[in-house]
Structure 1
Amino acid sequence: MITADATDIVRISQLIQGWGLFRDQGRWAQLAGTFVPGGTISVTWFAGAIEDFVTASRKQYKAASPRTKHLIGVPVVRVLGERAIAETNIQILGRFEHSDVAVDVTSNARFADRLIRTNDGWRIARRDAVYEKDRMDPVAPGAAFDCFMAGTDFSAIPEPYRYLGYRLITSGRSLQPGIICDGSPEADRLLADADLWLAGG
């Protein structure tokens, strides 16, 4: 196993940080440029090619805040030759309004990325989001929020992305099948497959 040197770590970290900034600020060409052409991304509401993700994100984009915010940590990176894998802790912050109640949703997750060194530098070839837990909080605490929570059944959505999923559904988006949750056999298989891919399998 070749350990990532400082230059690789910095460049991959900047790439992953850049993805969040470009996505949140609507910098679509730069967002597409964080992936190899035809690279794939799987999140709660989308699974497919990065080009289609950019198109779908652009349609949903709000010109002014409050917009969705991605807080992205420092990735843990492993490099072998021209390939790398990275796991990165993230938070997805979103606001929505339901029945005149303004609500903030915070989702904790990880990005599991497979990266390729190209002539233009490191690029993401595949990204899978692994969901851990989330929460919902009132922007202004009060009886209206308490009534909303007491009167809403969230149980159909798995706990690791329950409130994020609810926000997406109520905004008119569909949840993708096969969303990966932390600690599940699917998450274990994803990471094991990434190890094989890194080794050239």
Structure 2
Amino acid sequence: MMNADQAEIRQLVENWALWRDAGDWDRFATTWHPDGWMSATWFQGPAADFIAASRRGFENGVSILHFLGGHTSDVAEDRAIAQTKMTINQRAEVDDVQVDVVCTGRFYDFLSRDDNEWTIVRRQPIYEKDRLDVVDPAASLELDPELLARFPDGYRHLGYVQTKAGFTVKPGLPDLVGEAVDRLYREGAAWLAGSERPGVPA
């Protein structure tokens, strides 16, 4: 059973997804710590810059949506680590063919409570697996195997689609297993134990 802190953290994570995808930028900003940091396939930087970049994309028709599933959090006084199952859904055109790419993974969040409010200090998605489908079943699409091979299994198709859309996609982000995700877990444990920083963001 969730305690009050865990319930507030779950609400915070749900607000993040709903307000971001709805373009409710003022309320979206309240989910972030003033020193918040976002790492994603297409963006790594301060939360304020992520909000601005997300808003520009939203206003220019970039379609990236999030759906949330199971959630857990570990709370140590005024710090917490939350993990939330999620999917990232992006619709885009690849070589003039409209596609949907769906990536399944987890949001791994470093949180702090300041002035009795929980906010996200650092968010690092963990990319577990993805797939790509053409929207029109009658359409066909041939993928470039060399470009596809640039990215790990966890976000191979998402990285492909985002690169084709003009984004610079970062390699080596955490997926289901491996050194990147193991390092993230160590950083999370250190955060709960009182480390000065929430790890070293990608």
TM over 0.5: yes
Aligned residue in 2 for 1:39: 36
What's 1:158 paired with?
A: 152
Q: 1:11 aligns with which of 2, 5, 8?
A: 8
Output the CA distance in 1 between the equivalents of 2:132 and 2:50. Answer: 26
- RMSD across aligned positions (CA): 1.8
Find the partner of 1:103 among 53, 77, 99: 99
What percent identity do the matched residue pairs reach? 38
Deviation sequence 1:175-199 (CA, Å, 0-9, x none): 1254222201110111122111101
The answer to whether the Cα contact below 8 Å between 1:96 and 1:102 also exists between their aligned partners in 2 is yes
The secondary structure found in structure 1 opposite 2:18 is helix
Matched, 1:129 2:121: no
Instruction: Give the Cα–Cα distance (whole angstroms) in 2 for the partners of residues 160 and 98 of structure 1.
Output: 19
Match of 2:187 in 1: 193
CA contact (8 A) 2:86 2:105 kept: yes
Runs of 4 or more off by more than 3 Å in structure 1? none
Given the two structures, how large is their TM-score scaled by the length of structure 1?
0.89
- Opposite residue 164 of structure 2, the aligned amino acid is T
Cα offset, 1:75, TM superposition: 1.9
In the alignment, which of 144, 164, 176 is matched to residue 170 of structure 1? 164
| Superposition deviation, residue 91 in structure 1 | 0.1
TM-superposition CA deviations, 1:53-97 (whole Å, max 9, x none): 011111111477x83210012321111111111111110011112
Taking structure 2 as the reference length, the TM-score comes to 0.88
Q: Structure 2, unaligned stretches of length 5 or more?
A: 196-202
Matched residue pairs, number? 193
Secondary structure of 1:61 counterpart: helix
